[in-house]
Chain A
């Protein structure tokens, strides 16, 4: 009997000790930075960390969330589904105090988002997977536009900022350029633009005159375009030759020095600047929100790798905003329970008081006001699929001078009609 009691006592102590190992640390809440930190896309993780760490530091410096500190936990998903799924399962099973996941896993969302969603863990993502444009996962939120949204943004620009209504769709027949076509075509249709001609250009041809002839015959007023540099050089040289140079709206794939050089060689710098604009994802990288982010980033020390490289990195800025929004959502919900504060993630973007930092948001919430967080990346406006169309800028080529901006609402109108 005495022996039995001893054994039972030892077992009870061991069980309670093991249970203690798995218990949540009451003072720390974990936000998992679920990204590749090894392999060919290892930079994704470090880019995200350059946003997560400054945000967490600022939250903690302001007293934390409901008396608890935040931390960024690095979780290496190695950038492929075969590694990411077990990494997600392990994360969910073994991480005490896990309240949210931030990631930038283009290509992995279909594999990992169902796991986080089933575990009721909010996921604030920068992944560009197009199928998630219309996802219905309750705990998934995307604050960077999907990879196809540039096409919608071009249509939105033409509709809202110009008087052109007949458009030509001229994208090279490569995967990257073709990624814009569904969005541009769909967006044009939603906005009442007429795509008078659509041509997929074979790249690096010595002549595009037949294509030009067909395009001109349909009398478009403006052209949407993306291609490699050499194709653009030949196309625009021959457009100029035939006297058919049109105003052109370029996408992000054409935003590179080679493209600029080829078109300048073909038509000259003045004509390039006069006839072309580029529609690109826009972050201000200035102003009070950015200055707060930048100061926190540059003082993050060894927790951030190559901090100075991320000062104007859209993805680091967006990751910073995501973590700040999570913390504000917890404050707004007065709860660190993911099932509770998940519902406040949308609410803190559309309240009455505009705030640019966690400290401002906390002060406003403490004062009983509803907030609209507008961080480094500007306005966040989630649609019914928990996607944010992002703020887009329209830029002059070569100088990169900002001509105008497109709000998320402009782009969402193109997406949803």
Chain B
């Protein structure tokens, strides 16, 4: 029974971390149709920036602020000056994915240069702990779970109850038609890059704080899981990404409990293969369509 509690609680914790990143990733793709494979590098850069700004302190509030601001700013720069420039030159979706891969590698290797020969670490701090039945959670882990809930609600409110959210949903469904109806594509695009980047940055600093030590490759592993969750839920569908993250998080912990911890990631990808075999569009998307870059 206590093992079940552990699986559920830490599955939710893992899912929370993944969900924040996955919602940001899928939201931006849903609006701009750019498969931004530099997302993991932006996530990593947020950890480095926070570590530098906060002098390795683990205070959570400032970490969220730094992560969100850096991620939003960096992401906006990528959308505004890199993606837009290539889009104007008629780069295909595949070409754009390659551009973002290249950009991600530039960022990662730059961070490696900054990092130097050893890993970076946060300063040890005594974490407050909270017991939930048989499970002990730290204040950081509770904040991550809580933040994920807040982020999900905020994205829901943004998309469902605001004019810009309506414009974003319209653009995601049919970019050409929404522009014909007067939606300002540039504003929608900007907001998408900003929100996506902020979530990416928050996800990054949470990852850095939860691991305590990191190097320039830290974002790579989580990014793969983030993409898995986004695709599982239906790429471009924020609600789907939330469900996808839960499936991945709980699936990984279940694999660790019932099979072997070595199969944590394996099970997540097996779930992805099974779901896509049954629903090629993912859990939440209604259909598979041919998408064009939003220029």
A230 interface residue per 8 A CB criterion: yes
A229 interface residue per 8 A CB criterion: yes
Given A206-B207, A210-B6, A241-B136 contact (CB < 8 Å) = yes
Residue in A200, A201, A204 whose CB lies within 8 Å of B218? A204
A266 interface residue per 8 A CB criterion: yes
Q: How far is the CA of A213 from the CA of B129 in the complex (A)?
A: 17
A383 interface residue per 8 A CB criterion: no
B14 interface residue per 8 A CB criterion: yes
B146 interface residue per 8 A CB criterion: no
Contacts of A210 in B (CB 8 A): 3, 6-7, 10, 253, 256-257, 261
Q: How far is the CA of A29 from the CA of B135 in the complex (A)?
A: 70
Could you tell me if B119 and A214 are in contact, using CB atoms closer than 8 angstroms? no
Residue in A211, A229, A237, A242 whose CB lies within 8 Å of B136? A242
Q: How far is the CA of A213 from the CA of B6 in the complex (A)?
A: 7
Contacts of B7 in A (CB 8 A): 210
- Interface size of A in residues (CB-CB distance below 8 Å): 34
B264 interface residue per 8 A CB criterion: yes
Residues of A298-353 whose CB lies within 8 A of B:
none
- Interface size of B in residues (CB-CB distance below 8 Å): 40
A2 interface residue per 8 A CB criterion: no
The interface bits of chain B over 155-176 (1 if a CB of A lies within 8 angstroms of the residue's CB, else 0) are 0000000000000000000000
Given A209-B135, A262-B213, A202-B261 contact (CB < 8 Å) = yes
Q: How far is the CA of A210 from the CA of B6 in the complex (A)?
A: 6
Q: How far is the CA of A213 from the CA of B135 in the complex (A)?
A: 9
Instruction: Name the residue on B nearest A211 (C-beta).
Output: B261
Could you tell me if B122 and A265 are in contact, using CB atoms closer than 8 angstroms? yes
What is the distance, in angstroms, from B222's C-beta to the closest C-beta of chain A? Answer: 7
Contacts of B222 in A (CB 8 A): 204, 206
Could you tell me if B253 and A230 are in contact, using CB atoms closer than 8 angstroms? no
Instruction: Name the residue on A nearest B257 (C-beta).
Output: A210
Could you tell me if B121 and A264 are in contact, using CB atoms closer than 8 angstroms? yes
A205 interface residue per 8 A CB criterion: yes
Given A204-B221, A229-B119, output 19 extra A-B contacts at Cβ < 8 Å.
A173-B262, A200-B262, A201-B262, A202-B256, A202-B265, A206-B17, A209-B13, A210-B3, A210-B10, A210-B261, A229-B215, A230-B119, A230-B218, A241-B127, A241-B138, A262-B121, A262-B213, A264-B124, A266-B213
A-B complex: 3 closest residue pairs judged by Cβ atoms: A265-B121, A262-B213, A200-B262
